[in-house]
Amino acid sequence: MKKILILASALCFQTAFVQAEVVVVGNPSLSATLTPAEVKNLFLGKRQSLPDGTHITIVERTAEAPLKSEFHSKYTNKSEAQLSAYWTRLVFTGKGKPPKEISNSEELINMISSNPSFIGYIDSTEVTDKVSVLSK
C-alpha cells in the first residue's frame, strides 16, 4: 500500500511540471505552415511576408512574459539581452524597428483574430478557434 501511495504521489508531481509548448499563431484565414527557419526570419525582421507573399506584422510578447524567453530559445537562439542589442542595432542603423509588444495571450489572440496580417506566439494550451497554429 505504501508503494502505491509513493507511486501515485510521484505521478502527481510529474504531471504538475509538464509544460505545454510554445506555438506560432495567426488569423484562421492564414493557411501557411512555417518552418523554424521561416519563423526565425520573421521574428528577427529579416522577412515581412509569409512564403505565399502575404504581408504580415509580428506581435511580440513583453520581456516580462516567461513565454518570450521560451519562444526565442526555441526559434531564434537569442536571450533577452541579445534581442535587445539586436533591435537596438537595427534601429540605430535605420534597418528595422522592433515588433509591437503585447503583455498577455488574451490580448494577443483578440488582436490576431481581428487582423489577418498579425502573427504571434502563445502557449499551446491557449489555442482557441480564434487563431490557427502556423508552427509548433
Superfamily (CATH) of domain 20-135: Periplasmic binding protein-like II (3.40.190.10)
Q: CA–CA separation, 77 vs 90, rounded Å? A: 18
Round to whole Å and give the CA distance between 75 and 62: 17
User: What is the pLDDT, as a whole number, of residue 66?
Assistant: 87
Supply 11's cell numbers. Answer: 505521478
SS3 66: helix
Answer yes or no: is pLDDT of 7 > 50: no
Residue 82 CB coordination number (10 Å): 12
- pLDDT per residue as tens digits for the range 42-75: 999 999 999 999 999 999 999 888 899 999 999 9
Read off the C-alpha cell for 6: 509513493
Backbone angles phi, psi at 65, to 5 degrees: -75, 120
